[in-house]
Structure formats: structure tokens, C-alpha cells
């Protein structure tokens, strides 16, 4: 059977790429059970993401096992998509904080988030390309990554959960186009598969200079 190669060429667009990781997701499921606790945590997160993303250009929601890959698109401005993605993530952190007040500790939903902007291949219910990989590398940065970084912040300055990291590209957009957030460099990191050192930023509330919904 012949294959139409032209039909397999994906659409290429510039989107804001967000990676969300549920902190200690696997540990929670192993301790308390996937069907008893883990599944409901993931379903709650997906429901929140879908609700918050509506109207903000959310185009892709793909499970990663321990969280989700999201992308946001704005046909008028790629930079506006990065702003929308940031708005959505901080709204998500706020709503999970409110949710956690009314559930048992083992059902708490705590997140690590990373935002990047770049060209992606649009495939069915997914995104591909080096910028997607870059976003996953950003999300993997934690306190344990700081000793290997250049000019890192003190480990205790980076929360263990409920924080947002972003690439240098997104940090520049936020500084230019929004007064709601500021960013601070947490260091320069070697990211697997990418040459040299890359500066990584934490997104903060501009008014109070701390993570909007921080949890140390």
C-alpha cells in the first residue's frame, strides 16, 4: 500500500508550551492506590486545565503520565499566547490551592510548571519538536539541579512545589508586555540535548516579588 508522504507533513506553528508535573504523583498512587486517589487527582487537574484554558487559546492537552503537556495559540500574536499561558497557569495554581483546602492531605494537588515559546509540529492530540523537549527540560529543574548551575540562587529560595519556571524567551515577553509578573534568574543550566548553558527564570508576582501561590 502506498503512503502519501505529503499528507504526513505536520502543520508548523508557534505556540506557548507548558509542562505541568504533579508533585509526587507516582508516590501518592503507590501509597494510596491509583483508583482510590491517583485517578481522581489527575481527573481534577484535567478538568481545571480544560476549564481555565477555554478562552485563552488552549489547543493541546496531552497526558504525560505524571501531568500534562499543554499548548496555547494566538493567531494575532505568538507573544500574546505566552501571556495567556502564564495567566492560565497562575489561575490554575490559585484554584488548586483553593481545592486543597477541602480535601484530605493525600488528595492534595501540588504542581511544578514550566513555560516556553517556540515552533512546534502539530500532530493529532500532541506536539513534537525540540521546543517541546526544551519545555520538558525546564520542568525537570528542581532544587537538586542548582548545585550544577552557574550563578544559582540559594536552594531554599526555590519552592519544592507550586512554582512556575520559564525560558529566557518567555521571561523577556513577560518583562516587556505585562505588569502582573516579574521574573528572576535562578541560574544557568546545561539542559540535556541542548548546547551550552541556558538561563532559567522563575515567574513571580510583580507586586510582592514572591511566587503568587507559593508553597515551600
Predicted local confidence at residue 114, as pLDDT: 98
- Phi and psi of 73, rounded to 5°? -130, 140
Predicted local confidence at residue 7, as pLDDT: 56
Per-residue pLDDT at 211 exceeds 50: no
User: The domain spanning residue 148 has which CATH number?
Assistant: 3.30.70.1230
- Phi and psi of 13, rounded to 5°? -135, 160
Q: pTM of the full predicted structure?
A: 0.91
Chain centroid to CA 10: 23
Q: Is residue 116 within 8 Å of residue 169, measured between CB atoms?
A: yes
Label the pairing between strands 163-167 and 111-123: parallel
Q: Is residue 7 within 8 Å of residue 124, measured between CB atoms?
A: no
Predicted local confidence at residue 206, as pLDDT: 72
Does residue 4 belong to any structural domain of this protein? no
Chain mean pLDDT for the chain: 91
In whole angstroms, what is the distance from residue 12 CA to residue 120 CA?
6
Does residue 215 belong to any structural domain of this protein? no
Long-range CB contacts for residues 171-177, cutoff 8 Å, separation at least 24: 171/201, 171/203, 173/79, 173/82, 173/83, 173/117, 174/82, 174/83, 174/86, 174/203, 176/79, 177/79, 177/80, 177/83
State the residue for C-alpha cell 519556571. Answer: 165
Predicted local confidence at residue 212, as pLDDT: 54
Does residue 84 belong to any structural domain of this protein? yes
Exposure string for 90-99, b = 16+ CB within 10 A, e = fewer:
bbbbebbbee
Predicted local confidence at residue 122, as pLDDT: 97
Does residue 29 belong to any structural domain of this protein? yes
Q: Residue 119's domain spans which residues?
A: 12-205
Per-residue pLDDT band for 30 (boundaries 50, 70, 90) equals confident
Predicted local confidence at residue 28, as pLDDT: 83
Predicted local confidence at residue 95, as pLDDT: 97
Does residue 177 belong to any structural domain of this protein? yes
What is each CA distance from 52 to 55, 192, 194, 203, 216, in whole angstroms?
Answer: 8, 31, 32, 19, 25
Per-residue pLDDT at 17 exceeds 60: yes
CA angle 51, 133, 122 (to 5 degrees): 60
Does residue 166 belong to any structural domain of this protein? yes
Beta bridge partners of 18: 70, 115
Give how many domains the chain has, as a whole number: 1
Per-residue pLDDT at 38 exceeds 90: no
**pLDDT average, residue stretch 54-58:** 95
pLDDT > 70 in the chain, percent: 92
Per-residue pLDDT at 97 exceeds 70: yes
**pLDDT average, residue stretch 40-62:** 96
Copy the grid coordinates of residue 198.
541556558
pLDDT > 90 in the chain, percent: 82
Does residue 213 belong to any structural domain of this protein? no
Instruction: Provide the residue count of the chain.
Output: 216
Per-residue pLDDT band for 102 (boundaries 50, 70, 90) equals very high
Collapsing DSSP to helix, strand or coil, 68 comes out as strand
Digit-coded pLDDT (tens) for 141-187? 999 999 999 999 999 999 999 999 999 999 999 999 999 999 999 99
Amino acid at each position: 500500500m502506498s503512503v502519501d508522504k505529503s499528507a504526513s507533513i505536520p502543520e508548523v506553528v508557534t505556540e506557548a508550551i507548558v509542562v505541568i508535573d504533579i508533585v509526587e504523583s507516582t508516590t501518592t498512587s503507590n501509597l494510596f492506590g491509583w483508583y482510590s486517589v491517583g485517578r481522581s487527582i489527575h481527573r481534577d487537574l484535567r478538568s481545571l486545565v480544560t476549564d481555565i484554558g477555554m478562552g485563552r487559546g488552549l489547543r493541546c492537552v496531552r497526558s504525560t503520565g505524571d501531568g500534562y503537556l499543554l499548548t496555547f495559540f494566538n493567531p494575532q500574536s505568538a507573544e500574546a499566547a505566552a501571556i495567556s499561558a502564564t495567566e492560565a497557569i497562575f489561575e490554575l495554581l490559585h484554584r488548586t490551592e483553593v481545592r486543597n483546602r477541602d480535601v484530605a492531605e493525600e488528595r492534595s494537588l501540588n504542581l511544578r510548571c514550566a513555560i516556553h515559546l517556540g515552533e512546534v509540529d502539530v500532530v493529532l492530540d500532541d506536539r513534537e519538536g525540540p521546543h517541546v523537549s526544551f519545555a520538558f527540560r525546564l520542568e525537570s529543574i528542581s532544587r537538586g539541579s542548582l548545585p550544577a548551575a552557574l550563578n544559582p540562587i540559594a536552594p531554599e529560595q526555590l519552592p519544592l512545589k507550586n512554582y512556575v519556571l520559564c525560558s529566557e524567551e518567555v521571561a523577556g515577553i513577560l518583562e516587556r508586555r505585562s505588569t502582573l509578573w516579574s521574573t528572576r534568574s535562578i541560574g544557568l543550566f546545561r539542559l540535556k540535548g541542548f548546547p551550552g548553558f541556558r538561563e532559567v527564570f522563575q515567574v513571580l508576582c510583580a507586586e510582592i516579588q514572591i511566587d503568587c501561590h507559593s508553597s515551600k
